[in-house]
Amino acid sequence: MEINYFNRGKQQVEVEQVYGIKAVIWLYRSHFGKLLQRVLSTAPISMMYGIFQDMYASHLKVQPFVKEFNLDLDDFLPEEGRSVNDPYSTFNQFFIRRFKEGKRPFVDTKNIMPAFCEARYFGYDQTGPDVQVPVKGKFLDANSLLAHADWGDVFKEGPLLLARLCPVDYHRYHFPDNGHVLASYALHGAYHSVNPVALKERPDIFATNERHVTILKTENFGKLAYIEVGAMCVGKIIQTYPDSHFNRGDEKGYFLFGGSTVIVIGEKGKWSPDKDILKSTNEGIETYLKLGESSANVNELSH
């Protein structure tokens, strides 16, 4: 199965190189694979796999991985205390690599929301029952995603950006604006794959997987619900921000090994995803964005 996405920087549709695609297809489409889902999508399995990625022996996977997916490590810093000749002590240290200063500037125009992840994006002006890509609307509903009586109505029918991070991607996520944290809580669940193959077979993944929710009050985009979704073989969702106040572009946290997703929901009518993201989403195709570039705009009527 080919997974296509629109690369904004290159202005062309590309075919995604999927890490472990044969295993994902077998797990979600074969009879025996489906029988194993309950075991493989549990927290202990993902945690155990994550532990291996922290072992020294796992660093032997780094160079083959870089070569297979043609990654340019010149954009990234080595692990602290290590040289460019041997930059990472474990696969997880490679996985959570940081960009060098200046490699990913954040757009500073107030009414433009910078991309909070380097990822493949779907975008919606409004969530609700009519949303069909990539999953049925009821599973992108604020109440289902947030599972909290105090916040579901605040974000009802609001705009939504869904950023899917592949194992080859930069796996740190950032704040899209200045502001402060209003609330933060974890929702425990499964660790299903977030690959489009898996989503077609199990459209409830975003509403049932392990996730962490942070409610933000921002200067330019109103309240935002910022949701990190765990996935198969994701060892942990780590929050790294030091206190309740943050600035545009500050690191919020990172995922340990595995493909993952970040979802941001806004208040109804406050902002809209960029037009090219909306267009591609309507065509069932994600848009690949670099960290910090434009992802959404404040609606003029919301002022």
Q: Which residues pair with 224 in a beta bridge?
A: 216, 266
Residue 191, pLDDT score: 62
Percent of the chain whose predicted confidence (pLDDT) is above 90: 54
Residues 156-186 pLDDT 10s: 999 999 999 988 899 999 999 999 999 999 9
How far is the C-alpha of 213 from the C-alpha of 290, rounded, in Å? 23
Residues 126-153 pLDDT 10s: 887 666 656 544 567 888 889 898 999 9
Q: Supply the range of the domain harboring residue 187.
A: 1-303
How far is the C-alpha of 225 from the C-alpha of 56, rounded, in Å? 37
Residue 143, pLDDT score: 87
- The letter for the amino acid at 95 is F
Q: How many domains does the chain have?
A: 1
Query: What is the reported pTM?
Result: 0.86
When the pLDDT of each residue in the chain is averaged and rounded to a whole number, the result is 84
Residues 24-41 pLDDT 10s: 554 545 654 555 545 455
> Contact, 261 vs 145, CB < 8 A?
no
Residues 214-232 pLDDT 10s: 999 999 999 999 999 987 5
